[in-house]
Amino acid sequence: MTMWKGLTWDHPRGFNALDAASRDTSVPGSGKIAWDVQPLEGFESAPIADLCARFDLVVLDHPHVGEAVEADCLHAMEDIFGNELVSELEAVSIGPSLSSYRFHGKHWALPLDAATQVMAVRPDMLPEVPVEWDDVLALIDRGAPVAASIAGPHAVLSFFSICAALGEPPAVADPDVLVGGETGAKAYAILSKIVRAMPEKAKALNPIGLLDLMGREDGIALCPLIYGYVNYSKPGQGREPLRFHNAPRVSGGHPVGTLGGTGIAISKRCIPDVALKEHILWLMGKTAQCGFIPAHDGQPSRREAWFDPKVNAEWGDFYVNSAETLEHSYVRPRHSGYIAFQTAASAALREAFEKGVPVDEALGPLQELYAKSRKGGER
């Protein structure tokens, strides 16, 4: 019997449902996949071609697809499942959770998990939930304990979300221009104000660490932009439950967050048999997405799961309260070279915040880093 090797990330949201499905005898194709894990940050540092040389299935996020296509290390989903089925899945996937994996005319993964930057609140500390960015800034002026997600790649991702909310999603109108000066200046001013107000020890924490800190200590009542983790909507050992809401918006606009989530990709080393294809499609189906995956700490990608009353009742309305943000979420550039830009740009922003660099000096290096990352390819 053929056994397949899969790689995902080492968090209950990334591992539990996949592992449980691979062992559940009622699930098509079970008993044939062994899932390994690595830290989420490992996907940022390891070339996708190296991972695909070692694993048959790789759970990745959409900015990796340009690098993967350049390395020719993934099967296109259309080549495995057909155009019609991929189109059907795109119609039922929330926001751009499937379309984000489309690059050079084909999809390179199917959306296993959907996420975007949303707003996290400690309801016992902040009963008033802000709706607009002006509300967030007013809370800071009143001394409310607020934090931003700026560790790792997240400084530039938070910057992107604010730019998109202001009406200029980065590198969309012109793929060679990251963001215009006026929008960039406003976004930088908003984010830097939050950073100045946040606790020092929160600055180095990834979203998981920051959400954990919010639940365990009383130093942060609000994080207006952070990747949503449904697991934190329930109390944990020594941890208060958090509530998740749509990201802040500007007056008259939509809430916007930078798209995250993960997709399941099939490496070129794998020639999938019928059982493996049935297993992957089962994971994408209504039974798994509205039942099995949420019951095993996962975060589904089908729109109907995000509005399912039973799913929301179980998880503190996490899904319905933040679905609008996901529907309007911003899709990052996906050219080969983008991941390295994301890392460097975030480091540059953190340095600018730390040194109090004025906006005109902070934004220039971001555009320079972005231009260097471009190789003339499609977004």
Q: Which tens digits make up the pLDDT trace of 288-301? A: 999 999 999 999 99
User: Which sign does the torsion angle of CA 288, 293, 294, 299 carry?
Assistant: negative
Is 319 within the bounds of a domain?
Answer: no
pTM for the full model? 0.95
- Structural domain for 309, as ranges: 4-115+259-314
Do residues 289 and 174 both lie within one domain? Answer: no
The token pair at 94 is 């929330």
Do residues 367 and 238 both lie within one domain? Answer: yes
Where on the phi/psi map is residue 214: left (φ > 0), alpha (ψ -120 to 50), or beta?
alpha
Residue 1 pLDDT level (bands cut at 50, 70, 90): low
C-alpha dist (Å) from residue 90 to 13, 46, 195, 258: 22, 29, 37, 19
Is 357 within the bounds of a domain?
Answer: yes
Give the Cα separation of 184 and 367 in Å (integer). Answer: 11
Do residues 43 and 71 both lie within one domain? Answer: yes
Do residues 218 and 354 both lie within one domain? Answer: yes
Is 324 within the bounds of a domain?
Answer: no
Do residues 166 and 80 both lie within one domain? Answer: no
Do residues 197 and 106 both lie within one domain? Answer: no
Is 60 within the bounds of a domain?
Answer: yes
pLDDT at residue 5, as a whole number: 97
Pairing of strands 102-103, 106-107: antiparallel
Do residues 251 and 279 both lie within one domain? Answer: no
> CB-based contacts of 68: which residues, under 8 Å, 6+ apart?
48, 49, 52, 60, 74, 108, 265
Question: Which residue is listed with tokens 């830097």?
Answer: 192
Is 305 within the bounds of a domain?
Answer: yes
Is 182 within the bounds of a domain?
Answer: yes
pLDDT at residue 379, as a whole number: 44
The count of domains in the chain is: 2
Is 146 within the bounds of a domain?
Answer: yes
The token pair at 73 is 């290390």
Do residues 124 and 159 both lie within one domain? Answer: yes
pLDDT at residue 39, as a whole number: 84
- Identify which of 312, 313, 332, 314 has the alpha carbon closest to the alpha carbon of residue 323: 312
Is 66 within the bounds of a domain?
Answer: yes
User: For 79-83, what is the mean pLDDT?
Assistant: 98
Do residues 183 and 245 both lie within one domain? Answer: yes
User: For 263-268, what is the mean pLDDT?
Assistant: 97
Do residues 205 and 343 both lie within one domain? Answer: yes
Question: Which own/partner pairs from 21-24 qualify as long-range (CB within 8 Å, at least 24 positions apart)?
Answer: 21/279, 21/282, 21/283, 21/288, 21/292, 21/296, 22/279
Do residues 56 and 155 both lie within one domain? Answer: no
Query: Over 70: is that where the pLDDT of 377 sits?
Result: no
CATH number of the domain that 290 lies in?
3.40.190.10
Q: Of all residues in the chain, what percent carry a pLDDT higher than 90?
A: 92
Do residues 55 and 103 both lie within one domain? Answer: yes
